């Protein structure tokens, strides 16, 4: 293949597909190179094993997907995704209290990750200048030293040249080690959380009293380390995902049998999930995924060769408990779209500008997440500035969300990445937090 206005994307996961969507407006041809086989339908893939676990799509992700693929949300529902009232149908036990339930007027879509990806695939395959190649493992970059430019990729038996190479290969990306070999050291922010995810699908018994569609039982740190979620997904199935920080889950034990999964569910701070699944029919085996550390590679802080752009989990792998990874990928794709329009005549300016903008998207989310992760003394890494004040304030917001609808409404918008975290610092909320703190102080 010749190199003429071509963009190559390494990895056909969520961010690879989203990058293809926005690049297709500016490049004559866009090739997605994915190492997996083509999935036959909405089924999990070897290259994205996290697809066996619950994947929440936040409002920012849902709205952005609709912007990029008009009609996709309705398509989700047509093939069985579950539309819920975001605040009424969510039962959330958080920091030792249940959140208020009310009709906030917005909805959330519950579905499995393979179902979501399968729909994106269908939209991608309708774009005439995007070609999706499966069974293509990228092994190396092709680099022109004189130009200091990545000019293509090397596969086992072929090389493909391109004007732009996008690395969307996620956690196993080859970029960092390739750069290391050339003595370009990418600064990393790493936080060790030793988190395990254990998931299984169930058919629940009919229960007319069940007044929720998704239930979250989060651990109250630092003493509680194990939590769980139970979510309805397509085909009237439910996914149960149990998670434990700092090796709190004995992985080998829980994988032994259906009973050992139930035993683990029994150890959650609330028995609700156990009660629902103790007589339910298991529909899958038990899947495990370990996340020893989360990592944000600061590609925005180094001088990269030209022609290389990093996106999605390649850039930052965040604690999945907050359900943000796919929505970050969507926000990044929208940002990339803006930059491609801005630098239309001069596309080589896009990668560097993009890495800076992506860092701006990631920074507040990273800060919010690690503020929570550092509630466990065993968490290791660089602590954010003003950690104890942030933790104190956030804890009060969490607790107030169990009794004050206005505060919860603001919090849920921040959690869904549709409002900045600073919106939780507006005077009325600060006043509520202070009043709440003093009332606790008076009672004690
Ligand atoms: C257990 C778990 C639960 C999660 N839950 C949520 C959630 O609730 N909500 C949420 O939004 N996010 C969640 N996430 C995060 C989410 O899965 C990721 O953020 C998202 O998948 C990132 O997409 P990506 O395309 O960047 O990377 P990936 O999904 O990892 O895709 C990378 C792709 O690149 C391919 N690839 C890799 N190397 C090569 C190569 N050399 N050549 C060709 N192809 C290659 C892989 O096969 C894969 O298809 C969770 C993550 C985990 C681990």
Q: What is the mean pLDDT of each run of 10 residues along the chain (444 residues)?
A: 76 98 97 96 93 96 98 98 98 97 96 98 97 97 97 96 97 95 95 98 90 97 98 96 97 93 97 96 97 97 97 97 97 98 92 98 98 98 96 97 97 97 96 90 68
Check whether residue 233 and residue 129 sit in a common domain. no
Where a domain ends, among 343, 368, 393?
A: 368
Ligand 1 centroid to Cα of residue 98, in Å, is 31
Residue 377, domain member (yes or no): no
Domain shared by 399 and 360, yes or no: no
140 and 74, same structural domain? Answer: yes
Answer with the one of 266, 292, 318 that is the final residue of a domain. Answer: 292
**What integer pLDDT is reported at residue 14 of this predicted model?**
97
- What CATH number is attached to the domain comprising 222? 3.30.9.40
Q: What is the pLDDT of residue 439?
A: 85
With 0.95 as the threshold, say if the pTM is over it: yes
95 occurs within a structural domain: no
Rg of the chain over all Cα atoms, to the nearest angstrom: 22
User: What is the spatial distance between Cα 17 and Cα 54, in angstroms, rounded to a whole number?
Assistant: 20
Report how far residue 332's alpha carbon sits from residue 113's, in angstroms, rounded to the nearest whole number: 19
Question: Same domain for 389 and 359?
Answer: no
Taking CA atoms only, the protein residue closest to ligand 1 atom 12 is 325
Ligand 1 centre distance from Cα of residue 362 (Å): 16
Q: Last residue of a domain, which of 237, 263, 292?
A: 292
Query: Which residue range(s) make up the domain with 159?
Result: 6-82+111-189+296-368
| 100 domain-assigned | no
Domain check: are 195 and 185 in the same one? no
Residues 251, 338 within the same domain: no
User: Is the domain of 171 the same as that of 202?
Assistant: no
Judge if the upstream peptide bond of residue 382 is cis by omega within 30 degrees of 0: no
Whether 39 is in a domain gets the answer yes
The two three-digit tokens of residue 423, written as one number: 């919106």
Confidence at residue 209, expressed as pLDDT on a 0 to 100 scale: 85
Binding-site residues, ligand 1, Cβ < 6 A = 10-16, 33-36, 47-48, 50, 53-56, 136-138, 168-172, 197, 289, 291, 312-313, 320, 323-327, 329
> Which of 61, 170, 251, 289 for mutating ligand 1's site (highest number of atoms within 8 Å of CB)?
170
Please report the pLDDT score of residue 2 as a whole number.
39
Residue 160 lies in a domain: yes
Tally of structural domains, the chain: 3
Which pLDDT score, from 0 to 100, does residue 3 have? 45
Based on the domain organization, do 43 and 117 belong to the same domain?
yes
* One domain for residues 68 and 122: yes
User: Do 171 and 43 fall within a single domain?
Assistant: yes
In the reported structure, the alpha carbon of residue 166 is separated from the centroid of ligand 1 by a whole-number distance in angstroms of 15
Within a domain: residue 106? no
């Amino acid at each position: 293949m010749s190199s003429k206005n071509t963009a190559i994307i390494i990895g056909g996961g969520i961010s690879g597909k989203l990058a293809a969507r926005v690049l297709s407006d500016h490049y004559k041809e866009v090739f997605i190179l994915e190492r997996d086989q083509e999935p036959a339908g909405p089924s999990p893939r070897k290259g994205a094993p996290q697809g066996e676990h619950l994947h929440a799509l936040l409002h920012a992700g849902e709205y952005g997907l609709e912007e990029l693929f008009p009609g996709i949300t309705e398509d989700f529902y047509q093939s069985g995704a579950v539309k819920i009232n975001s605040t009424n149908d969510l039962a959330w036990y958080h920091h030792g209290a249940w959140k208020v339930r009310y009709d906030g007027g917005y909805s959330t879509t519950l579905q499995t990750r393979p179902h979501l990806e399968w729909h994106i695939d269908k939209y991608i395959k309708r774009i005439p200048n995007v070609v999706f190649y499966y069974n293509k493992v990228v092994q190396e970059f092709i680099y022109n030293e004189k130009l200091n430019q990545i000019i293509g990729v090397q596969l086992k038996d072929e090389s493909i040249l391109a004007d732009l190479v996008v690395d969307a290969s996620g956690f196993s990306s080859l970029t960092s080690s390739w750069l290391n070999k050339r003595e370009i050291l990418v600064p990393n922010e790493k936080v060790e959380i030793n988190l395990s995810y254990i998931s299984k699908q169930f058919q629940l018994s009919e229960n007319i009293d069940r007044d929720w569609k998704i239930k979250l039982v989060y651990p109250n740190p630092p003493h509680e380390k194990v939590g769980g979620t139970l979510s309805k997904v397509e085909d009237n199935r439910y996914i149960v995902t149990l998670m434990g920080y700092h090796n709190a889950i004995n992985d080998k034990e829980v994988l032994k049998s259906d009973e050992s999964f139930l035993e683990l569910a029994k150890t959650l701070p609330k028995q609700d999930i156990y009660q629902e699944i103790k007589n339910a029919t298991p529909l899958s085996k038990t899947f495990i995924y370990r996340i020893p550390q989360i990592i944000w590679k600061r590609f925005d802080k180094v001088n990269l060769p030209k022609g290389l752009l990093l996106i999605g989990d390649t850039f930052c792998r965040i604690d999945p408990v907050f359900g943000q990874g796919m929505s970050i990928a969507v926000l990044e794709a929208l940002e990339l779209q803006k930059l491609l329009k801005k630098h239309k005549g001069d596309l080589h300016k896009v990668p560097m500008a993009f890495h800076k903008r992506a860092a701006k998207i990631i920074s507040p989310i990273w800060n919010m997440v690690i503020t929570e992760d550092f509630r466990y003394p065993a968490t290791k890494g660089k602590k954010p500035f003003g950690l104890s004040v942030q933790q104190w304030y956030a804890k009060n917001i969490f607790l107030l969300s169990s009794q004050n609808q206005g505060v919860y409404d603001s919090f849920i918008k921040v959690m869904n990445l549709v409002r900045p975290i600073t919106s939780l610092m507006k005077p009325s909320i600060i006043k509520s937090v202070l009043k709440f703190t003093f009332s606790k102080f008076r009672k004690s």
